[in-house]
Amino acid sequence: MHADPVGVLTGAHFLDGDHAACEGAIAAGARFSAGYPITPSTEIVERFSHRAPKIGGTFIQMEDELAASIAILGAVWGGVKAFTVTSGPGFSLMMEHIGYAAMTETPCVFIDVQRGGPSTGLPTLPAQADMMQVKWGSHGDYEIIALCPNSPQECFDLTIKAFNFAEQYRVPVFVMMDEVVGHMTEKVVIPPAEEIEVEPRRWTSADKSVFKLFAPCGEDQVPEMTRAGEGYKVHVTGLTHDERGYPNMTPAVQDRMVRRLVSKIRDNAHKICLTEEQGIEGADVVVISYGITSRVAQRAVENARAEGLKVGTLRLITAWPFPEHIIRALAPKVKGLVVPELNLGQMVREVERCAGGKCKVIAVGHAGGTVHDPDQILKAIQEAAR
């Protein structure tokens, strides 16, 4: 299905990542956002508050992130596509409702424009230190999808992708930006609406007497969706529930329900894991990175190649589910994997786990506040190549 032309600003623009993400949400069909101001994400909802009344949408600034993160879920069950935005401290507040969204299989999008942490940290400076939090931040077993744009153009493109994944898998999806990508201004090309692929909500047409809101369907094993007001008399709860949505707090139902919530993503990981590879064939060292760090790493890789080193790059566009299959296949073929991140070691742990000791894994950590010096990454590449 294609995007609704109302709201698609076709053309070439000069936008920062935050603004581009907002346009991506609108192009994807989002018509509701609830937010709370937090640097460096605020511009996304400021722009949406501007655009919404002109496209039949609603923006409401809620009293806190707890309210914002659940207001969007209410809006989704009311029948629209909805999203919220935040950064570290707000992300922490939203964790309960992220779990609720995963548990109730509510399709929605959360944009986290990462900044220095922990706690109040560096409101106006970048980090990539929420990468484990996005996967594990809420309690219990659940799976989510997280995408990492590395340019304002990708902020536009991947936000649309996020909405599409959300509808496809009835799951909360995260766009993990960082302050640099959010505040850098670059050319963003917005195609005509008919060239933008948008995933429709999986509206059920089942008979009201048989429809089960949480019964897996189709090859993806994802349940169909409906909304309040269609006469289905749905029941949605955060308690462990059966296929009808009725609370059923027994070990057997818990096992069935949680395993399904997890496997609908894990079993489809090969379709969800988006990566960008360059020069991997025959490489001795592969640099694995995401977000703004992938652009800095590019300079280090160029310098390494200039020294005669055989270096490839693997960019994680999808951070979660983690592309285990790719790392497992790659590790035996290289001398080392270098993982620069604007944190003190998060995604590198997944790389290590999947490399299984078959090659060196060198983390290039950074406490945040700015981007890496490419030489730090170059040094690691040299070490990995030894």
Instruction: Point out which residues bind another protein (CB under 8 A).
Output: 1, 4, 6, 29, 31-32, 34, 53-58, 60, 62-64, 66-68, 70-82, 96-97, 100, 198, 200-201, 227-239, 246-247
Closer residue to another protein, CB minimum distance, 173 or 181: 173
Min CB(258)–another protein separation in Å: 18
How far from the centroid of its chain's Cα atoms is residue 17's Cα? Answer: 15
Preceding peptide of 40 cis, ω within 30°: yes
Closer residue to another protein, CB minimum distance, 77 or 322: 77
> Count of alpha carbons within 13 Å of 236, Cβ hemisphere only?
19
State whether residue 204 is helix, strand or coil.
Answer: coil
Q: Sheet of 275-278: strands edge to edge? A: 275-278, 311-316, 285-289, 336-340, 360-364
Min CB(175)–another protein separation in Å: 19
Min CB(25)–another protein separation in Å: 13
Min CB(62)–another protein separation in Å: 6
Closer residue to another protein, CB minimum distance, 142 or 322: 142
Of 275, 348, 278, nearest to 310 (Cα)? 278
For residues 371 and 324, what is the distance between their CA atoms, to the nearest angstrom?
26
CA angle 111, 117, 121 (to 5 degrees): 110
Of 126, 184, 128, nearest to 153 (Cα)? 184
Closer residue to another protein, CB minimum distance, 7 or 17: 7
Min CB(6)–another protein separation in Å: 8
Name the DSSP class of 203: B
**Contact 125/369 with Cβ under 8 angstroms?**
yes
Closer residue to another protein, CB minimum distance, 61 or 278: 61
User: Rg (Cα) of the chain, in Å, rounded?
Assistant: 21
For residues 125 and 240, what is the distance between their CA atoms, to the nearest angstrom?
40
For residues 82 and 32, what is the distance between their CA atoms, to the nearest angstrom?
5
Min CB(227)–another protein separation in Å: 6
Closer residue to another protein, CB minimum distance, 70 or 131: 70
- Beta strand pairing call for 81-86 and 145-147: unpaired
For residues 331 and 337, what is the distance between their CA atoms, to the nearest angstrom?
8
Min CB(46)–another protein separation in Å: 16
Closer residue to another protein, CB minimum distance, 55 or 269: 55
Min CB(118)–another protein separation in Å: 24
> Which amino acid is present at 381?
I
Closer residue to another protein, CB minimum distance, 138 or 151: 138
